[in-house]
Chains A and B, each alone.
Chain A
């Protein structure tokens, strides 16, 4: 939430409004007013006020009285914003009664139809704006925007909503202590505005007021008819300082228009209004609660540049802050994760340290048991194989040698049999011995002996 300070000073008083909010939503917090002597130092008063604030405001809006600006309503044969801006600038250079470099301008579109735009141009002497900006700078509150008092009446009217007056164009008459604003509003825009340097301070006799107001209303209507043919006031909204109920009927009767009397404080029930000087809060309060994008901006170009620069720096600072926050949050999360992982790793290491000696002993036992079992199995297999060979050897087979080589995993046998068929039968019998994977007959040889023929053989039993 940002804070906005609206500063306006007239010849009799200094008015300040403080609001909080952002974008189009602003809430008025307080309005203060101090009487101002003709030779009073505004900067000093402002500095004192700034000291009373807890924090410097984010935006400072300076208000120029409507009396200090001139307006022109011009028709341009285009509806394109770029072309319109160029035409407006050309008009300001050629048609204003001052040299271009001596004025500050702003414009807004009143209506657009059939390729034609009706634009209201507002111009103010640069010297007046510079003076005001310098005073604020001296007081330590750099200006963000310079606008015109009529836009305060528009802001106030918007805050009221449609209930205030239904017949538009509505002429809002804001009576202040030393000034009166006549602002014609329709469709949320100012069609025309005037200001007279007279207010309640200047009107001693109440009966004359209605006459004076009627006169000024008539002048406003005449100006509107001249600037915007076919447009006329349809209702009047009377507000401001010291507005009396009897004025309403008298004015309505004399104007022949519906007149509504509205309390100036109506939109700000919760705000602190503590003026030390009698003022109408309509202008400063209305500007304080308006969307800055909808306010007329007659700030000099260099001030606009400064404001843009300040905004960019603020946005950059905000982005930096966000990046720093994200980085800080990321770092924090990483740190928390790292701490948790370190704790978990320490727990794991402790568990491993507790379990490892037991497991190492088990692994050693397993290795020894495995080794012993494999040796025993091998021995058992060899014993079984030899026993099986002897059992499978019939009496007619004479074995001469049995050779076992562990590395070759085989049992070689040499001997003799009565016949080759007996050798083959013996081979078949050996192949059924447990532990014998394959029995290979290496050779057979028949030889004659004193006892008859014998068949020598050699066999290999693969395990």
Chain B
């Protein structure tokens, strides 16, 4: 094994790219869960976003439009979940699972004619001077725009939840939907908006996967990324800043194990490939073992159906 073939600078830069899809999806799910809704369909929305984004980018030749398409695809799928759980009061766990199963099917269906196609390249931004700083330059200033968008989104979500009226109302709805209703807030509408936002973020994350990270379309290419995003929300105990930490940590593990595979480490490839999932489980265990902390931050109405009885 040749560990010297691993360049720490490239590793960190690659980590940011690897983490971006999950970061986007987890941020969206964070907002959804803060509104008191548990959408387990992240995987389905991501893969739908992946193919929608891919298809739009290939057809238009414009990757930026592709990302818009991916977000739209994810949001559209999430609205199925929204209508079922918010208007028809279906079980959120079951509906989320259905969303994932359906998303995997519909994406494979749409994606048939795109297998083996190469998407238009997403160019990296280059910042004059900044990009040329040694070490910091390649790590921070030589990425494509979506990496910066995702970081901006972290700040936006953090600010929105903590300092704005919209964020306060959103948290209130997630905390106690009956009280929010009694005060005259439109619980269902607010939740639908959150669900659509979550869907758009997941779709964006999916399209980043198919347009930048891989970049090509294969069936089931999300390979559990949506579920890991869900786990990261728990890991982050519903805080935007810690979602970033969780996603980058996961991205780091993914990139590291890929590098170790390339460096010819003497562990079978399969065991390295399963390591991100095992480490996610481990982190989940550590986070949930402290019951009081988990209970304090989790939105109190999470996963409960709301029906205005009066």
Are the chains A and B members of one assembly? no
Residues in chain B within 8 A of chain A (CB atoms): none
Residues in chain A within 8 A of chain B (CB atoms): none
